[in-house]
Structure formats: structure tokens, C-alpha cells
């Protein structure tokens, strides 16, 4: 294999640019011609594929997001457009492709592999951390540090008033981001899809704490529950404290990537390129401190669950 490409698909995460840098530099070290696919599968269909070099990855390591763009492609769900994408690769002599994305992106690359014999390697990249088979996805540590800073800042103002702040985190249908953020910020309440909760029990506890001198509350709520405004109203009506909502939104996706996300990007990409050189298609996963390489069907087609050990830390 003499030519490889890399693309970003779905939501962007901090650490993608670190992955691009490592891809170009490692590929050249292995005497492989590296190519960038701009704007995900959309760019692959339309042939926005450009040979990359050292100058393309200079000074991008510290940047959040992705310099080559990303997209969610409805067209790629159709076989005719996947065939067009495969022709774009074949025309340029590209035999393997690295895909940074989530489960939907991996399902797409699996079809490309099955239908057109393109070698594919996936790198889990989503702040939701909701991909089966891997304990960690690229971008999560940076997102968690962003949330931590935001909650710490909110706590400063919360402590100045007798108020409750209800903070909504991203995570799609997964409560990982909310749970870890609540645990590590000392929040008084954490509501996620994976854990049942009893508002009556919270009410009794919080009223008792107010009598004992507590002045404020921090609640972290996963976006999947769609309960942020409801919980804020609950604090006002049942606990008797003024409340505010803070929706962190897309601030969680951006920002200067942490050291952990940078080195993880390097590790993921190195393994992906090595596996493609062996003509092995799959997804690079992280279990504990070790990298593994799994079949796409064992990652993209299985449900993700937060570990029982982590859930038990809140219970």
C-alpha cells in the first residue's frame, strides 16, 4: 500500500488536528503518500481529495476542531454515492482510508469496505464517549476539562447567591460526559439516562441541607433527558431557591486539546496506519492502557454501556 487518505466524519472533536499531524508525518516516515479528504464523506463523494505534506500540518497541533472539515453525509447512505466515492479513491490510487468519527461513520466505512474492497481503519472520535468496544474516544478529555472549567466558574457565582444552577451537558443519548463532570466537580445532583433518580429523595435531602446552612446547588443534567428546564422549575417550586439554567452546548467540542488527547491521537493513528499496511480493516480501540484492533461489527453494531464501576461512584 503506497497511498492512504484520512477524513473526519460527524461531530468535530479536539484532537482531530493532532491526528492529522501524526497521520501525515507517520505516513511519510513509512514511505506512504498521505492524502486529506476535505469535509468528510461529502468531500469523498465529490473528490475533494488533496495530497498532504509537512506544511499542511505545521502549527495545527494546538488547534481544536479539524482543519480538513467534517460533515454528516446523507448521500453516503446510498450505494450509488458510495460507488462514486470509491471511484474517487481508485482514480488517485488510494488503497486505504482512516476515518475519524463515531458509530455512524464506522457503519459507512464498513459498507465502503464490503462493496468496494477499500481497506478502512476507524478511530473513535466523539465527546459522547458512546462507542462500544472502546473505553475512550478522542476528544473526551478536552471536553471534560472544558466542562470542568465552566462548572467551576458557575460555582463561583452560585456561592454568592442562594441559587441553584442546572447545567446541561452534551452526550447525545449517553450520560458519560454528565456523570464524570458531576463527579469531578462536586455537583449535588446528576441526572443521566443510565441511572434512575428519585426527586422526592433529592427534595428531602436538599431541604435538610438548606436548614443546615447550604446556600446553593449545582445540578448536572444530560441533554438526552430533556429535563433541564423542568429541573430548574423544580428547584424553584419544591426546594424554594431561585434557579438558573446553563446550556454548555458546542463549547464542549472545541478548544485547545489536552496533552492526553494529543498523545492518544498519535497512538490511535499510528496503530491505524500499521493495520492498513497489513491490509486489515477495523477500528482502533482503547481498553485500559492498551490499544486493540476490533472488527467494525463488534464496535459500530453493538450498544455502549457506561461501566458499572463508574456508575457506582455516583450511587
Close Cβ partners of 158 (under 8 Å, ≥ 6 residues apart): 164, 165, 216, 217, 218
Rounded Cα distance between 26 and 272, Å, is: 11
Residue 131 DSSP class:
-
CA–CA–CA angle 38, 112, 25 (5° rounding): 45
Residue 10: DSSP 8-state: S
Q: Which H helix or E strand runs over 291?
A: strand 290-294
298 is catalytic: no
Burial class (CB in 10 A: 0-12, 13-18, 19+), 62: exposed
Among candidate residues 128, 130, 141, 261, the one labeled active-site is: 128
> What does the CA dihedral 136, 141, 143, 145 come to, rounded to 10 degrees?
150
18, 7, 8, 4: which is closest to 260 by C-alpha? Answer: 18
Which residues are known to be catalytic? 128
Amino acid at each position: 500500500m503506497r497511498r492512504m487518505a484520512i477524513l473526519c466524519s460527524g461531530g468535530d472533536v479536539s484532537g482531530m488536528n493532532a491526528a492529522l499531524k501524526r497521520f501525515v508525518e507517520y505516513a511519510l516516515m513509512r514511505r506512504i503518500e498521505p492524502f486529506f479528504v476535505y469535509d468528510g464523506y461529502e468531500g469523498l463523494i465529490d473528490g475533494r481529495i488533496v495530497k498532504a505534506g509537512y506544511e499542511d500540518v505545521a502549527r495545527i497541533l494546538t488547534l481544536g476542531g479539524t482543519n480538513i472539515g467534517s460533515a454528516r453525509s446523507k448521500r453516503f447512505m446510498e450505494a450509488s454515492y458510495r460507488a462514486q466515492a470509491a471511484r474517487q479513491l481508485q482514480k488517485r490510487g488510494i488503497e486505504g482510508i482512516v476515518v475519524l468519527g463515531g458509530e455512524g461513520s464506522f457503519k459507512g466505512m464498513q459498507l465502503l469496505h464490503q462493496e468496494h474492497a477499500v481497506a478502512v481503519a476507524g478511530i473513535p472520535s466523539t465527546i459522547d464517549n458512546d462507542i462500544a468496544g472502546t473505553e475512550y474516544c478522542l476528544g473526551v478529555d478536552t471536553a471534560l476539562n472544558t466542562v470542568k472549567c465552566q462548572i467551576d466558574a458557575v460555582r463561583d457565582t452560585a456561592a454568592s447567591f442562594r441559587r441553584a444552577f442546572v447545567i446541561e451537558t452534551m452526550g447525545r443519548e449517553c450520560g458519560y460526559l454528565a456523570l464524570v463532570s458531576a463527579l469531578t466537580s462536586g455537583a449535588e445532583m446528576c441526572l443521566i439516562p443510565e441511572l434512575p433518580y428519585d426527586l422526592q429523595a433529592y427534595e428531602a435531602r436538599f431541604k435538610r441541607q438548606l436548614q443546615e446552612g447550604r446556600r446553593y446547588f449545582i445540578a448536572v443534567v444530560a441533554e438526552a433527558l430533556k429535563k433541564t428546564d423542568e429541573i430548574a422549575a423544580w428547584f424553584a417550586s419544591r426546594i424554594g431557591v431561585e434557579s438558573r439554567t446553563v446550556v454548555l452546548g458546542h463549547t464542549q467540542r472545541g478548544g485547545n486539546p489536552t496533552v492526553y488527547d494529543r498523545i492518544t491521537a498519535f497512538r490511535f493513528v499510528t496503530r491505524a496506519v500499521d493495520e492498513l499496511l497489513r491490509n486489515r480493516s477495523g477500528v482502533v480501540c482503547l481498553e485500559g492502557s492498551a490499544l486493540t484492533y476490533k472488527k467494525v461489527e463488534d464496535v459500530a453494531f453493538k450498544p455502549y454501556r457506561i461501566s458499572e464501576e463508574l456508575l457506582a461512584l455516583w450511587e
